Structure 1
Amino acid sequence: MTVYAYAEATSCVQGGALRFHLARASRAPLHGSVLLEDVSADRAVSEEEFDGPLWTFDVPADLPSSLYRAVFTADEDASEVYFVVRAARPRSPILLSIPFPTWQAYNRAGIPGESVYWTEQATRASRVAFDRPGGGPPPERWEEGMLRWLGPAGYEVDYCSGLDLHDGAALLSGYRLLVVNGHDEYWTAGMRDNVEEFVRRGGNLAVFSGNTCWWQFRLEDDGRTMVCYRDAVTDPMATVEPGLTTVEWSSAPVNRPENSLTGVSFRRGAGTWGPYMQLMHEESYTARFPEHWVFDGTGLGEGDKFGQGCIGYETDACDFVEVDGVPVATGRDGTPPSFVILATADLRHWHRYGQGGMATMGVFGLGAGTVFTASTVNWGNTLRDPAVDRITRNVLDRLSGPPAGWEVIGPAGSFRALTVCDSQLYGVGTDGSLYRRDVSGQNLRWHRIDSGGGVVAMATPREASTTRPIGLYGLTGDDRLVYRDPGPQAPWTVLGEAPSGGVGLALVDGDLWAATADGGLWRLPPETAEWTLVDGEAGAVALTAMNGRLYAVCSGDRVRTRLPVAAAAEWSDLCSAAGCTTLTAHAGRLIGAAADLPLRWRAPVPDHRAR
């Protein structure tokens, strides 16, 4: 006769205890064996016996944090229960969440009154209990591929249940990176609030999942009841606290698109269900920004396809437009303006099979942290693909390590001067032309707008300047100070002479600062036409300013900084220049370039600064 089992929690800590409840359909004695298996390591841990309706697992203090399965067998019948063992203290910078809420949502799908599925069935339940059998992974095992890959790939990670994130601020604080994997569709407000705050404070999030954070649910009865009405009309919370209504996160009255957490949403994604699910194995991603660090070591070029089958039966995407052959997020759907699209899959033909749309792999900054999203359910099950493997390693390595430095924002070019004006990035190329593009992390194309006027260094005053017009100031190769208004058709006007051999230019509080090839640092206040030598041994090869501070690329491929005082002052070493030979700054970032090196940016903080 069938034996039924469930655990009192979806996770327990090393050295703790977890109780299991057992029952049988008949009055036969409750006696049998329980086999404990480490799902991630694919190995048996122990085999014990149970006798009666309760069995307690005393978790050894040294049992590895992982996903486990307890298989209860009585006679010929068996019942399995999944649970996580959490680390008593962090042993890894990486924490991986198991989507128990989503597993529970699909438990007994289609049985009237026993599941929140199917979505539009009138007999679906609005409340389901965790205290019942079932609630394990689906037959497709969306999560298992990555769990089995991590250890052999050299990654030791700690595990938690998705429910642990609900009150998980303290849990998250011990980690550098949270990994969401597989199919993580159901999130509480507490889960989302804590994860978003974790990233804003400098943690990172890697979403190797699709259909992520699509539905909001609530926890009741001390966290043992899952509440999801899927309908604001029937959810009593809609008139009490509308933000907690159990509908899609992007729907009214919640109006909090998951894009602000993941950068993407199933709203713009695609799905192929039922007998058409196998079509996912025909689809691939197309690389759109191969110079980005996410693609390092893959060998992929722009337009190359990779990861056939990784797309999965459900995908997420952001709203985007094509600009000069480059995908650019519009932000109309709530996607953050910093979202950078790395790869796309056009799945609009899936409208015949469930939902047509796109998949957009990308990355963006959220506060002090970074979010990467693969935007697909089946990523972890295609890690045998070399590109998928390499991308996953790049993400795990970078986001679990110290804060990174320079980040590529465009393909290689040859520029000898850069500046930012009116949120546009201007560059004078080695061909003598003036180019322009938006300031963005996306790999946008440069557009030639005019002659560069012989300029070898540029600068622009920041807003609210009353001493000099807002525009492009330049030093020319024949030692002149010139100016032009921003825009496509404007003449260069000579303002006066410049120090001989200028290589860098900066503007601070109306003062022009020039760096020269002989190591000099010169100053020109707005009230005079005479340049003054401030420091004869600055040694700068590029110069810029931001927030009342000078930044220079100096010998040894280093960025150094000092205050703009009219006297010799010590330069403080800041970070690597990464080969950059021209420099500008905007909105808290240094932007650099060099001949035949990709355009890049970084925050002006020391290399490998600890959190």
Structure 2
Amino acid sequence: MTGINGYPASPSIRAGRSIRLHIATSADRFRLDFYRWGSALKHTGHVEWPGQDAVPGLHDEDWQWPAYDFLVPRDWRSGVYIGVLSTGVCPSQPVMDAREARFLLVVTPAVPSGRKVLYKIPVFTYHAYNTAGGGSLYSASRVTLRRPGGGVGGPVKGLPDPYDTSSPRQTFAHWDAPFISWMEENGIQSDYCTDLDLDEGRLLGDGYRLLASSGHDEYWTAQTRRNVTAFRDTGGNIANFGANTCWWRVRPDEDRSALECGKFPPDAPAGTDPDSSYGCPDHWWESEPENTLLGVSYRNGGGHWDGPRPPLGYTVTDADHWVFSGTGLKTGGTFGQDNALVGYECDGAAYEIDGQRSPQPTGQDGTPKNFKILGIAPLPSDWNFAAREPMPSPRAATLGLYRATGTVFTAATTDWSRLLATDPQVAAITHNVITRLA
């Protein structure tokens, strides 16, 4: 079979505008089909073009593959679109996740849509784990966005997830796709963006009430964080149904085609684990703790499991809170344990137990003092932990929220979306948070 692969020049495009696609194949002609991901897979169109071949590049350089301009129809609804490349007849229902012949494109609205939810696709994180060209941000300090991969269509660093072997971790299919399917199946109307859109200051001023994300949104630029913080401070709400969020700081280059990240302390020996090290240039927590925005940090949680982990769920600390409405949960009860809800990575806030035997944030790590811990999962001693400042607080995943003009909610575990379709309590909490904050 003739090989084919490709990538967009930019991970997102406004409906009605032209996007440059870069595609390489030795076939004389090829076909590109677009599918929008949602409650059901929707075929939205196709094009056919003459093929041009090219050789792969390196992980840190623009591959400069043959270019094709595609005009995104103005009536395409905002969403995540998978480009399926083929050199023969495209199957009627092709598999969306693959390590080649696929690319991800986020379409943003042509004009403000009036929808109240904006969902963030973490393209920076997907490219950090993308190993196309022989490297990733786990082996190099710079990667290009202009290569196959970045959510779908490229090789990925990491081992399979024993709790969901249908797709690799660090892919769109693994983290975001289940959450988006659940939202749209449940009638939650959302527009979509990438972290590059937020870095450039787009969309957050278009009337959205809630910025939502899920899974593994690990890599943030300083400008993305400033813009999201400003959104909160002007009354915008944030719901983070994931973990290990805003752990590493990245910097885009001038044309927004590559990312840089300084992970290792000066003179670090080979084999150093940056998560467990101090003095890392781009650890957010060492310079500006992510807790001040999100309420939690990976350094008070942990994880990074390659195989099975101790099954943990959340113990409810205040069942009367609106977050738990309709769940049937009681204070002191647990949820999610049977399906290992907590992990593969989780976030937490430094806390202490008050006179009513309830966990309260200490604020020592930057967590707002009004952060309300609604669910807690103390972590066993054999959990994998990251570096943190010395503090007496135990480590625990902490589900909760706080208010600072806007409200910020965190589920504090990467695997939240994995349970949405099968755990009615996880689904009810998610529905409560989105409908209330939107």
- Report the secondary structure of 2:21's partner residue: strand
Q: Structure 1 176/30 Cα, relative in aligned 2: closer, same or farther at 3 Å?
A: farther
- Report the secondary structure of 2:298's partner residue: coil
- Report the secondary structure of 1:270's partner residue: strand
CA distance in 2, matches of 1:328, 1:291: 17
Tell me what 1:418 maps to. Answer: none
Q: Structure 1 372/318 Cα, relative in aligned 2: closer, same or farther at 3 Å?
A: same
| Structure 2 counterpart of 1:304, one-letter code | G
Q: Is the Cα contact below 8 Å between 2:31 and 2:88 reproduced in 1?
A: no
Question: Given the alignment of the two structures, is residue 393 of structure 1 paired with residue 425 of structure 2, yes or no?
Answer: no
Question: Given the alignment of the two structures, is residue 147 of structure 1 paired with residue 180 of structure 2, yes or no?
Answer: yes
Per-residue deviation, residues 432-481 of structure 1 (Å, max 9, x unmatched): xxxxxxxxxxxxxxxxxxxxxxxxxxxxxxxxxxxxxxxxxxxxxxxxxx
Map of 1:474-485 to 2, 5 A cutoff? none
**Aligned mate of 2:332, from 279, 282, 303:** 303
CA distance in 2, matches of 1:186, 1:350: 26
CA distance in 1, matches of 2:27, 2:324: 58
Question: Given the alignment of the two structures, is residue 135 of structure 1 paired with residue 150 of structure 2, yes or no?
Answer: yes
User: How far 1:30 sits from its partner (Å)?
Assistant: 4.9
Question: Given the alignment of the two structures, is residue 327 of structure 1 paired with residue 359 of structure 2, yes or no?
Answer: yes
User: How far 1:353 sits from its partner (Å)?
Assistant: 8.9
User: How far 1:71 sits from its partner (Å)?
Assistant: 1.2
CA distance in 1, matches of 2:300, 2:384: 16
Higher RCO by CA contacts (8 Å cutoff, separation 6 or greater) = 2
Q: Structure 1 350/45 Cα, relative in aligned 2: closer, same or farther at 3 Å?
A: farther
Where in structure 2 are there 5+ consecutive unaligned residues? 52-65, 90-98, 157-167, 269-279, 388-393
CA distance in 1, matches of 2:202, 2:215: 23
Tell me what 1:448 maps to. Answer: none
- Report the secondary structure of 1:338's partner residue: coil
Tell me what 1:156 maps to. Answer: 189
**Aligned mate of 2:118, from 95, 103, 107:** 95
Q: Structure 1 247/358 Cα, relative in aligned 2: closer, same or farther at 3 Å?
A: same
CA distance in 2, matches of 1:352, 1:129: 30
**Aligned mate of 1:360, from 385, 398, 403:** 398
Q: Is the Cα contact below 8 Å between 1:268 and 1:318 reproduced in 2?
A: yes
Greater mean deviation of Cα atoms: 73-82 or 305-314: 73-82
| Structure 2 counterpart of 1:51, one-letter code | P
CA distance in 2, matches of 1:343, 1:299: 15
User: How far 1:289 sits from its partner (Å)?
Assistant: 1.2
| Greater helix share, structure number | 2
User: How far 1:73 sits from its partner (Å)?
Assistant: 1.5
| Structure 1 counterpart of 2:396, one-letter code | M
Tell me what 2:129 maps to. Answer: 106
Map of 1:332-481 to 2, 5 A cutoff? 332-351=364-383, 357-366=395-404, 368-383=405-420, 384-400=422-438
CA distance in 1, matches of 2:410, 2:384: 26
Tell me what 1:205 maps to. Answer: 238
CA distance in 1, matches of 2:385, 2:406: 37
CA distance in 1, matches of 2:314, 2:360: 16
Q: Is the Cα contact below 8 Å between 1:288 and 1:343 reproduced in 2?
A: yes
Cα-Cα RMSD: 2.3
- Report the secondary structure of 1:216's partner residue: strand
CA distance in 1, matches of 2:251, 2:301: 25
Q: Is the Cα contact below 8 Å between 2:4 and 2:24 reproduced in 1?
A: yes
Map of 1:275-294 to 2, 5 A cutoff? 276=307, 278-279=308-309, 282-294=311-323
User: How far 1:391 sits from its partner (Å)?
Assistant: 0.7
User: How far 1:48 sits from its partner (Å)?
Assistant: 2.5
Greater mean deviation of Cα atoms: 388-397 or 34-43: 34-43
Q: Is the Cα contact below 8 Å between 1:165 and 1:195 reproduced in 2?
A: yes
Return the index of the structure with the highest Cα Rg.
Answer: 1
Q: Structure 1 320/153 Cα, relative in aligned 2: closer, same or farther at 3 Å?
A: same
User: How far 1:66 sits from its partner (Å)?
Assistant: 0.6
| Structure 2 counterpart of 1:279, one-letter code | R
Q: Is the Cα contact below 8 Å between 2:120 and 2:193 reproduced in 1?
A: yes
Q: Is the Cα contact below 8 Å between 1:272 and 1:354 reproduced in 2?
A: no
**Aligned mate of 1:270, from 302, 315, 323:** 302
CA distance in 1, matches of 2:386, 2:304: 5
TM-score by length of 1: 0.58
User: How far 1:387 sits from its partner (Å)?
Assistant: 1.0
Tell me what 2:345 maps to. Answer: 314
- Report the secondary structure of 2:345's partner residue: coil
Tell me what 1:464 maps to. Answer: none
Give the share of equivalent positions with the same residue, in percent: 39
Per-residue deviation, residues 314-364 of structure 1 (Å, max 9, x unmatched): 000001111131001001111011110000112223436989942100100
Tell me what 1:558 maps to. Answer: none
CA distance in 2, matches of 1:294, 1:59: 39
Tell me what 2:70 maps to. Answer: 57
Q: Is the Cα contact below 8 Å between 1:216 and 1:247 reproduced in 2?
A: yes
User: How far 1:19 sits from its partner (Å)?
Assistant: 1.4
| Structure 2 counterpart of 1:287, one-letter code | V
CA distance in 2, matches of 1:267, 1:335: 12
User: How far 1:136 sits from its partner (Å)?
Assistant: 1.4
Map of 1:242-281 to 2, 5 A cutoff? 246-251=281-286, 255-274=287-306, 276=307, 278-279=308-309
- Report the secondary structure of 1:213's partner residue: coil
Greater mean deviation of Cα atoms: 206-215 or 138-147: 138-147
| Structure 2 counterpart of 1:295, one-letter code | F
Q: Structure 1 144/357 Cα, relative in aligned 2: closer, same or farther at 3 Å?
A: farther
| Structure 2 counterpart of 1:396, one-letter code | I
CA distance in 2, matches of 1:209, 1:338: 21
Where in structure 1 are there 5+ consecutive unaligned residues? 118-123, 236-244, 401-611
Structure 1 stretches of at least 4 aligned residues deviating more than 6 Å after TM superposition: 352-356
Q: Structure 1 59/294 Cα, relative in aligned 2: closer, same or farther at 3 Å?
A: same
Q: Structure 1 371/352 Cα, relative in aligned 2: closer, same or farther at 3 Å?
A: closer
| Structure 2 counterpart of 1:164, one-letter code | D
